[in-house]
Amino acid sequence: MLLTITTTHQPATDLGYLLAKHPDRCQTFAINYGEAHVFYPEATAERCTAALVLDIDPIGLVRGRQQFGRARGTLAQYVNDRPYVASSFLSVAIAQVLGSALRGACKDRPALASTPIPLIANLSVVPCRGGEAFLRRLFEPLGYEVTARRVPLDEAFPEWGDSPYHRVTLAKTTTVSDLLTHLYVLLPVLDNHKHYWVGRDELDKLLERGQGWLAEHPEREEIVSRYLKHQRSLTREAIERLLADDDIDPDAADEHNERAEQALERKLTLNDQRLGTIIAVLKQLGARRVIDLGCGEGKLLGHMLRDKDFAKIAGVDVSPRALEIAAARLKLERMPTRQRERIELFQGSLTYGDSRFSGYDAVCAIEVIEHIDPSRLQAFERVVFELARPGAVVITTPNVEYNVRFESLPEGKLRHRDHRFEWTRTQFEGWARRVANEHGYSVRFVPIGPMDDAVGAPTQMGVFAR
Ligand code: SAH
């Protein structure tokens, strides 16, 4: 079994620090069922690839391991695919051989360990129970670009057809820790077979490794069930615990990160200051019909509902889970009819033109643009300023300069793991002025939170008006 991880982040050989394995050496480690080798087929400043090869001893596998293959007869104990495929053995090897990288620890390059860099993982033989479609359903919601090719049974005999295995490439700009974590959890899920007994320890491990992504994953039930070997009571407990942790934060990607961001900003009650300022600005603009794009759990919607000046309120989010939580928080079901008529929630994306965004006095996008890939920002501009074209637009985003004032935030790290970027004041103002100019709006800027002479305020707001 071969797993390679490639980066083009420069200097690419920093991958050696991230994995805590020197690019010039070939190292061998004893693992439970054989050996694991780590070496670098290429290691230049431009491109670096680390390879993890598992050399599993098929005889060692069955010795003293009654459960393995017992039911399948003796031959199956010795002749099986386990040594060659990406399965729970690879997960164990990742934890044993690349443990610090999996945890995100890196003593030589701590900031780099938490910085998303371009990564490509190649897996030579992946058993996909559920086929390529399931493989995609597992990795694409996490933002991976997935390439999969069926491996022929025997290249010399194409007429024999394909084997049940795939050669898989996963590409994403992410941290090494996230990539390894996703592989660690999802490879055994794809294989749908675990080589060791599954008990409560495994459940705890799954919840720990799944922090920040599993609760929101559209396939979470199937992932949990397969991971826990379809043991119903463990599966039920896992789902309950996942969702119990989850009812605070709607952010599609990342409830854990959201909480970290909230904790970071808590001292300032920055969120309250932000909401207060937005309401004040909207009232000053005379906006009575307001749509909140990327409304999340609906905090701003709640504030507007309490104020009779807002006659029509809409909340839009790409995450159905966020909308469910917003509806529950706002108690939509139990709302008196007159009140209920003032508010509407619907799923939508602020990077796709949507006629439902039209007809409002103001559009808000609060702490949302930094979640959009920079390549999609132009689409957002078009959707809001050209197509919806409200009288006013209110946009807030973090001021990255302020991050040095958050003591618990490591240098160079963004406030939230799903942030695609965080801008300085010059960057945000430059962007906002250009957009305003191009679409016939004026724009003014309002700092939110405590003002620091050197780095400004933690949140920056642009108020656009026609
Ligand atoms: N405005 C809220 C939530 C901010 S978190 C607040 O201030 O509390 C960012 C939100 O944007 C998340 O709920 C996320 O699901 C949503 N989001 C991210 N990309 C989006 C897109 N393309 N279209 C709509 N919503 C999006």
Q: Which of 291, 317, 393 to mutate to test the pocket of ligand 1 (most atoms within 8 A of CB)?
A: 317
Residues with CB under 6 A from ligand 1: 250-252, 294-296, 299, 317-319, 322, 349-351, 366-368, 371-372
Atom of ligand 1 nearest to the CA of 380: 22
What is the Cα–Cα distance from 56 to 32, expressed in whole angstroms? 9
How far apart are the C-alpha atoms of 179 and 172, rounded to whole Å?
8
Q: What is the block-wise mean pLDDT of the chain (466 residues), using blocks of 10 residues?
A: 92 95 92 85 96 77 47 52 64 89 91 94 84 90 91 71 82 96 90 66 85 86 84 74 52 49 56 87 94 94 93 94 88 89 94 94 97 93 96 97 84 83 96 97 92 92 96
Q: What is the 296 CA–ligand 1 centroid distance (Å)?
A: 5
Ligand 1 centroid to residue 368 C-alpha, Å: 5
Ligand 1 centroid vs 317 CA: distance in angstroms?
6
Structure confidence at residue 360 (pLDDT): 97
pLDDT of residue 151: 77
Distance CA 268, CA 158 (A): 65
Nearest CA to ligand 1 atom 11: 294
Q: Specify the residue with its C-alpha closest to ligand 1, atom 13.
A: 296
* Cα 436 versus chain centre, distance: 31
Determine the straight-line distance between the first and last CA of the chain, rounded to whole angstroms.
61
Q: Ligand 1 mean position to 213 CA, how many Å?
A: 15
Strands (E), 348-458: 362-366, 392-398, 442-448
Report the pLDDT value the prediction gives residue 125, as an integer from 0 to 100.
Answer: 80
The percentage of residues in the chain with a pLDDT greater than 90, rounded to a whole number, is: 51
Q: How far apart are CA 39 and CA 28, in angstroms?
A: 9
378 C-alpha to ligand 1 centroid (Å) = 17
CA of 326 to the centre of ligand 1 (A): 12
The residue type found at 39 is F
The structure tokens listed for 154 are 């025997």
pLDDT of residue 253: 39
How much is the CA Rg of the chain, to the nearest whole Å?
25
Ligand 1, atom 9, residue with closest C-alpha: 368
Q: What is the pLDDT of residue 66?
A: 42
- Chain centroid to CA 388: how far? 29
CA distance 31 to 53: 12
Strands 27-31 and 145-152: unpaired
Q: Of 290, 321, 363, 368, which is best to mutate to test ligand 1, by the most ligand atoms within 8 angstroms of its C-beta?
A: 368
Q: How high is the pLDDT of residue 212?
A: 85
pLDDT of residue 334: 86
Between the CA of residue 147 and those of 122, 170, 455, what are the distances in Å?
9, 7, 43
Rounded Cα–Cα distance for residues 357 and 37 (Å): 55
pTM for the predicted model, two decimal places: 0.50
Cα(348) to centroid(ligand 1), Å: 10
The Cα 166–Cα 147 span in angstroms is 10
Ligand 1 centre to CA of 165 (Å) is 37
